[in-house]
Structure formats: structure tokens, C-alpha cells
Structure 1
Amino acid sequence: MPAVRLRGVLLDLDGTLVDHAAAADAGLRAWLPTIGLAATDAAVARWTELQEPHLAAWRAGTISFAEQRRRRLRDFLGTDAADPSLDETFAGYLRHYEAAWRAYDDVTDALEIIAAAGLATAVLTNGSRVQQHRKLARTGLAGRVGPVFTVDDLGVAKPDPRAYRLVCERWGHNASEVLSVGDDHELDVAGARAAGLHAAHLDRPGTGPADEAVRLTSLRDLGPLLAGGR
């Protein structure tokens, strides 16, 4: 990344600050036996596979957040149960999923590194407002990461460049002064760059695009990218 004068770091939430994948895995394995199903690797893989298509429909505004949950359950369980029954069933999964929420162990260090560079932080997430604020509170990050922008707030989701432009406008920073950091290359890196932001790919497992030049394996590695901040 070329030397730039940054004013802020825009952080993704799930997969960047909070370990969503581990929480979903643990939550699912704890929940499935309560509804009479085996917590197999195949079941976890199927649940994960079904998540994105229905979330994408919600982000596109074609269904409600509650409806994307119902559709995922219908596909997963092969049921045509009524909405109230599906909502009750999904609530059982949510209790286990939320109990497993944890911030990554490099987050506190990263926030200190960013603050030491004199930069502001904010969060841009494709999750729902209510759930994501609850997640930040549960993991001890509420009030520590700056303003939080969700799909509900913006009316548009990553990787649409409009989401990034709206955040910069509301945050009061020019796009060229902001570094986006996230684990999803398409959403957090390509989308951010299309809007004029700088971006770094947080690639903890080392499976990201081989040609990505700005890659981190830990948030603790942010320091060199922030040189020349305020």
C-alpha cells in the first residue's frame, strides 16, 4: 500500500473482530441434539452452505431478516412449518450461537495500535443493527470501536461501493483517508477499493487471493500500514 495520510480505519465485524464461524459451529453443534438431530460435520457444512443465499436476499431487500432465517430453516430441516414455529426453533439456535460469541484475541492490541497512530475507528457490517450491536456488547467491544454502520442504517450492503461512500460521508472522512480492513476479500477489500478507500485483507487462514499485495494474518500486523496517519 502506498504511503498515505490516513484519518480512520474501517473495520468489518464478523470474521474480523468477532469469530462468527467458531460461534456458529459451536452454537449449531450444541443446538442440533436439542431438536433430535446429530451434530455431524455434514450438518454443519449444510447449515453454512445455506446461510449466504438467504442473507444475500435479505441484503438485497427482497425479504426480511426474520424471513431469511425461516427460509434457511425450511431448507435445512426440509419442513413447511408455519412462521411462528420456525421462529421458535431458530431462537433455540440463536441462544447457543450468542453464548459462543467471542472477540478475536488480537482485537484489543489492534485497537491500541490504531489509537496510538492517532486514527479513528468505525465498523461497517452486513449484519442487522440489533444483532450486531448485541454482539459488540456481549463481546466487550461496544463503545470501543467507534460508530457502527449496518445494512439497516445504510440501506445498502457491501460490496456495493455506495455503502462505503455513505459511511465516509456520515463519518466525516474522505474515502482516500480511510483504510478498510476485513476478512472477506470481495466485500471488504474489492468493494472498498471500488469506492476509493484503501484496503487490507485480513487473511488469518492464508487462503486468500495469491495476488493480493496488502494482506495481514493478524490484526496485530496493522502498524506498518498506519504510518503517516494524522
Structure 2
Amino acid sequence: MALAAVVFDLDGTLFDHPAAASAGLRGWLRSLGRECTAELEAAWFAAEQRHFRAWREGLCDHDEQRRRRLRDVLPLLGLPVGDDAALDGQFRDGFLHAYRQAWRGYDDVAGALDAVRAAGLRTAVLTNGPAEQQNAKIEAIGLGGRLGPVLTADELGVAKPDPRAFAAVCERLGTAPGETLYVGDEHDVDVLGARAAGLRAVHLDRTGSGPREEAARLGTLLDLAAHLAAEDPGAGSR
């Protein structure tokens, strides 16, 4: 089956969330008069991963996963944990404000999108982040108008790796799962989730820390053109 579309994850794939989150954490801690140590940064990202997974699995809402992250980290800073309204304000005016100032894209994205366009393939984004924020990220990093539809977990009512999320993006594009390639940085959520829904998938392993047994792997999006040619040798002639 010929390839018809490439669907991208956003955070960690097109948008450099790890760098922006690290910068946001440092900026927030500076505003509190605190130093960002390696231990604090590790604790922040561990809390993010743990509680974002809980939201993804439907165990809490999006605002609550943010509050839970603060409940884990504020005691490490020797700061009191307030009520929900106080935590919402701290996250919004503290970390989130500093995070937004550091939004950036990866420098290999433009070349990858050019390769997809040259191959005559449609594009879309499927992301687990909230719609308003994720669309704002796309605009902020200069990708507005360069991508197809953006589907988010909150709008769909299901999050990756639920097969229904991947089915929804194929339906939106009008493509069969088998002619749709998903590109993402989280192996379990993006790659295995896409394959479980019948899509093709490639792991964007920027850090080289992914499963060694994974054969479909890119170290950079600059390698996407070669991967597309291998997936569908006739793509560039469309």
C-alpha cells in the first residue's frame, strides 16, 4: 500500500519541549529566589511524566495533573502547598509563564516538512496536549500554515496511545491506517500506539535512548526523507 500521509507528534518531535521546560523551570525558580539544581530538575520532570500519564489515562483532569506536579515539587523547595486556586495561579503565573518565553522548534523540522511536501504526502499533527496551548506552540515556532489538521486529546476525548486517537487522525485525513506514517519521540505512546491502530510508525530517537531492537528509528528529522523513500519508493514521483 502506497504511503499517503505523515502524521507528527508535537512535543519532542516538532517542538522542543524538553529545552523549553528546562528553561521554564529555571526561570520560575529564579523568580522564587531558588537555584535550579540537577536534583530539582529531575524531580520536576519525574513529576511531569507521572502525572501527565495519569491525565492521559483519565485518572485526573488536565488542571489537576498540573496541581499534582506542584504538590510534589513545592515541598522540595521548602514552600507551602496551597489550595487548588493557589496552585493554579502558581502554575500559570510561575512555571507556565516562564515556559512560554522559551518556546522553540527543532532546527531539523523545516527540512523534514520540505521532504514530506516533495513526496506529495499530506500532513497532520496528533498531540496529547491541550488544543489552545498546542496550536499556540505551532504558531510560535513558525509552523502555522505549514501543517495539516491539528488533532488534540482534549478535543478528541481520547489520548495516545488509545487506538481511537490514531483512527481519528486517519479519518480526518481520509487515509487508511496502512497508508499513514506516524512520527513521534515516545516509543510506547507514539510508535507502539500507532502500530496497534494499524498505522506505520517510526521512532524519532533524538537522545539515542530508545529500545535497541526498534528497527524503524531516526536520530534526527533530517533522516525522514530517506525513510520515506524506503517506505514508499514511488512517493517522490507523485
The answer to whether 1:106 aligns with 2:108 is yes
Measure, in 2, the Cα distance between the counterparts of 1:80 and 1:206: 37
Task: Letter of the 2:45 partner, please give it.
Answer: T
Deviation string 1:40-67 (CA, Å, 9 cap, x unpaired) is 1111110000012211222233322111
Which of 151, 154, 177 does residue 152 from structure 1 map onto? 154
Which of 35, 41, 44 does residue 41 from structure 2 map onto? 44
* Counterpart for residue 175 of structure 2: 173
Task: Letter of the 2:102 partner, please give it.
Answer: A
TM-score (norm 2): 0.91
Task: Letter of the 2:43 partner, please give it.
Answer: R
Measure, in 2, the Cα distance between the counterparts of 1:212 and 1:59: 24
User: What percentage of aligned pairs have identical amino acids?
Assistant: 56
Task: Count matched residues.
Answer: 227
The answer to whether 1:203 aligns with 2:200 is no
Task: Letter of the 2:158 partner, please give it.
Answer: V
Measure, in 1, the Cα distance between the counterparts of 2:63 and 2:190: 25
- For the residue of structure 1 that corresponds to 2:124, the secondary structure is strand
Measure, in 1, the Cα distance between the counterparts of 2:41 and 2:104: 19
- For the residue of structure 1 that corresponds to 2:43, the secondary structure is helix
Task: Letter of the 1:72 partner, please give it.
Answer: R
- For the residue of structure 1 that corresponds to 2:110, the secondary structure is helix
The answer to whether 1:18 aligns with 2:15 is yes
What does residue range 40-119 of structure 1 map to in structure 2 within 5 Å? 40-78=37-75, 79-91=80-92, 92-119=94-121
Measure, in 1, the Cα distance between the counterparts of 2:68 and 2:210: 30
Which of 180, 189, 193 does residue 191 from structure 2 map onto? 189
Task: Letter of the 1:140 partner, please give it.
Answer: G
- For the residue of structure 2 that corresponds to 1:62, the secondary structure is coil
Task: Letter of the 1:88 partner, please give it.
Answer: G
Task: Letter of the 1:205 partner, please give it.
Answer: T
Give unpaired runs (5+ residues) of structure 1.
none
- For the residue of structure 1 that corresponds to 2:129, the secondary structure is coil
Task: Letter of the 1:18 partner, please give it.
Answer: F
Measure, in 2, the Cα distance between the counterparts of 1:82 and 1:205: 38
TM-score (norm 1): 0.94
Equivalent pair of 2:123/2:148 in contact (CA under 8 Å): yes
Give unpaired runs (5+ residues) of structure 2.
none
* Counterpart for residue 28 of structure 2: 31
Deviation string 1:113-138 (CA, Å, 9 cap, x unpaired) is 00000001100111111111111111
Equivalent pair of 2:184/2:191 in contact (CA under 8 Å): yes
Deviation string 1:16-51 (CA, Å, 9 cap, x unpaired) is 001100111111011112123221111111000001
Equivalent pair of 2:81/2:87 in contact (CA under 8 Å): no
Between stretches 174-183 and 134-143, larger displacement belongs to: 134-143
- For the residue of structure 1 that corresponds to 2:123, the secondary structure is strand
* Counterpart for residue 133 of structure 2: 131
The answer to whether 1:220 aligns with 2:217 is no
The CA RMSD measured in Å over matched residues stands at 1.3
Measure, in 2, the Cα distance between the counterparts of 1:206 and 1:63: 32
Task: Letter of the 2:125 partner, please give it.
Answer: V
